[in-house]
């Protein structure tokens, strides 16, 4: 498309987009996973629309001009600190930015003690945002195989941490399998060697406290664990805010200072910021604050209970279908399922043995959108999934019984479109 000479009426633009969007992934119906957290709460959604539009144009670049945003952001960080036991931190635009900031902080901390070629040690299940941060920030990533249960292996970490290690990373939980790494053991190893330890709780951070309060077994994972020095937790995931809201938190105020950028050698005046962005949109800050204060502990507990109902229903449904099984022992509300290696050889679908790609295609044909991973299909549950347990189970049973060979769907988690 070239740049338009004449503008178009608003009504025409809106109706074009409305009709095009009918083909986009529908998350309200409960058949989408992971990209949108479906809270299924019309009051919360109405509040979010209202607050987003009322802060649409505000800019948090200079917090002293928009003091309402300043207060909201400070309160979001305070709420996060109280939830996880942190001393301080910032809001950022998402998990990737929070991770970048934690890696940059650790890299500069290592440089200050004379490390010239800093490394980051993590398990192979750590989110790709760490690889990306390492690439951008010139840190060498050391990725270690996990134990057979999909969790990081403390023995391997013990051997891999050395004098160049700037940061050790653990996940709570990791995205592919929903399992929490042994945070206590690995943070202790890091502390013994005077190395920083980051917990990536981007995914689980705003659900785990409630999961624990519901009585579910949750291994220690936050700042209660000695040796944990920083933590990322996304409000736009299980914090149920709309996109653009994460928190990066620190045990120690001095460490956090390394994240701050100050520049006073510019004719335009002092430039200071605590995160990567310059101009910062108001809606994610206002939306995170409104969501957290609207829901409160009671609301988050209520939603966690719905997620747990969905988790119990989906896992029981899968367990009741011959030929498929969950590939790990998830600690939270997400998991991978694949072909059961112990399935009877004749459990096939009539055209050969069971084929997970073919099952994924059959589920796609029934309107479900399960992400394909290397070892199976990924399920991430939101509160609204409690309404589709029976439909999912019936469609999966049908798909396992009647599917063709894999049509070759992509294993895509995040994509780039080549515009050349
Ligand atoms: C464990 C984990 N870490 C980090 C991220 C990155 O978050 P974002 O996509 O908001 O940048 C994700 C996203 O799903 C995640 O699951």
pLDDT band at 418 (very low <50, low <70, confident <90, very high): confident
The Å distance, Cα 291 to ligand 1 centre, comes to 20
Kindly report, residue by residue over 269-324, the tens digit of the pLDDT: 999 999 999 999 999 999 999 999 999 999 999 999 999 999 999 999 999 999 99
- The domain ranges of the chain are 43-295, 297-398
Regarding the beta carbon of 209 and ligand 1, being less than 6 Å apart is answered: no
Average pLDDT for residues 5-23, to the nearest whole number?
A: 95
Regarding the beta carbon of 200 and ligand 1, being less than 6 Å apart is answered: yes
Kindly report, residue by residue over 331-381, the tens digit of the pLDDT: 999 999 999 998 865 556 665 789 999 999 999 999 999 999 999 999 999
Question: What architecture (CATH level 2) is domain 297-398?
Answer: Alpha-Beta Complex (3.90)
**pLDDT over 70, % of the chain:** 98
Tell whether pTM > 0.85.
Answer: yes
Look up the CATH number of domain 43-295: 3.40.640.10
| Ligand 1 pocket mutation, candidates 151, 198, 202, criterion most atoms within 8 A of CB | 202
Regarding the beta carbon of 89 and ligand 1, being less than 6 Å apart is answered: no
Q: Which atom in ligand 1 lies closest to the alpha carbon of residue 236? A: 10
**What residues are paired with 379 via a beta bridge?**
335
Q: What is the pLDDT of residue 328?
A: 94
Question: What DSSP string describes 281-337?
Answer: BHHHHHHHHHHHHHHHHHHHHHHHHHHHHHHHHHHHHHHTSTTEEESS--SSSEEEE
Regarding the beta carbon of 238 and ligand 1, being less than 6 Å apart is answered: no
As given in the structure block, the two tokens for residue 211 are 């999961």
Regarding the beta carbon of 207 and ligand 1, being less than 6 Å apart is answered: no
Q: Is 369 helix (H, G, I), strand (E, B) or coil?
A: coil
Kindly report, residue by residue over 50-99, the tens digit of the pLDDT: 999 999 999 999 888 999 999 999 999 999 999 999 999 999 999 999 99
Q: What is the pLDDT of residue 49?
A: 98
The Å distance, Cα 246 to ligand 1 centre, comes to 10
Kindly report, residue by residue over 208-223, the tens digit of the pLDDT: 999 999 999 999 999 9
The Å distance, Cα 342 to ligand 1 centre, comes to 33
Q: Distance from first CA to last CA of the chain, Å, rounded?
A: 13
Q: Is 408 helix (H, G, I), strand (E, B) or coil?
A: coil
As given in the structure block, the two tokens for residue 289 are 């604050």
Regarding the beta carbon of 234 and ligand 1, being less than 6 Å apart is answered: yes
Q: What is the pLDDT of residue 347?
A: 59
Kindly report, residue by residue over 132-175, the tens digit of the pLDDT: 999 999 999 999 999 999 999 999 999 999 999 999 999 999 99
Q: What is the pLDDT of residue 63?
A: 83
Q: Which atom in ligand 1 lies closest to the alpha carbon of residue 246? A: 10
């Amino acid at each position: 498309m070239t740049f338009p000479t004449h503008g178009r009426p608003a009504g025409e633009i809106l109706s074009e987009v409305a009709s095009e969007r009918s083909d986009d992934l529908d998350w309200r119906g409960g058949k989408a996973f992971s990209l949108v957290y479906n809270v299924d709460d019309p009051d919360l959604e109405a509040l979010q629309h209202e607050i987003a539009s009322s802060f649409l144009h505000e800019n948090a670049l200079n917090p002293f001009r928009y003091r309402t945003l300043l207060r909201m952001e400070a309160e979001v960080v305070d709420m996060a600190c109280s939830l996880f036991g942190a001393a301080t931190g910032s809001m950022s635009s998402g998990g990737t930015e929070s991770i970048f900031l934690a890696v940059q902080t650790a890299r500069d901390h290592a440089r200050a003690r004379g490390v010239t070629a800093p490394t980051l040690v993590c398990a192979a299940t750590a989110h790709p945002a760490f690889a990306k941060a390492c690439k951008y920030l010139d840190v060498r990533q050391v990725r270690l195989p996990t134990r057979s249960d999909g969790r990081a292996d403390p023995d391997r970490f013990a051997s891999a941490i050395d004098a160049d290690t700037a940061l050790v990373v653990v996940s709570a939980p990791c995205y592919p399998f929903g399992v929490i790494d042994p945070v206590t053991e690995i943070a202790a190893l890091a502390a013994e060697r005077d190395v920083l330890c980051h917990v990536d709780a981007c995914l689980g951070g705003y659900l785990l406290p409630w999961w624990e309060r519901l009585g579910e077994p949750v291994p220690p994972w936050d700042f209660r664990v000695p040796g944990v020095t920083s933590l990322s937790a996304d409000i736009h995931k299980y914090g149920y805010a709309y996109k653009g809201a994460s928190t990066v938190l620190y045990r120690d105020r001095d460490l956090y200072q390394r994240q701050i950028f100050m520049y006073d050698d510019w004719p335009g005046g002092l430039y200071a910021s605590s995160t990567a962005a310059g101009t910062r949109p108001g809606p994610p800050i206002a939306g995170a604050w409104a969501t957290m204060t609207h829901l409160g502990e009671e609301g988050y507990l209520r939603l966690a209970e719905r997620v747990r109902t969905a988790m119990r229903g989906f896992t029981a449904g899968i367990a009741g279908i011959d030929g498929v099984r969950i590939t790990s022992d998830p600690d939270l509300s997400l998991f991978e399922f694949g072909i059961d290696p112990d399935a009877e050889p004749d459990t096939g679908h009539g055209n050969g043995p069971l084929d997970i790609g073919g099952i994924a295609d059959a589920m796609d044909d029934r309107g479900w959108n399960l992400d394909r991973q290397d070892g199976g299909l990924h399920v991430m549950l939101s509160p609204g999934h409690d309404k589709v347990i029976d439909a999912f189970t019936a469609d999966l049973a049908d798909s396992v019984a009647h599917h063709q060979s894999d049509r070759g769907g992509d294993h895509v988690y995040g994509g780039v479109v080549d515009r050349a």
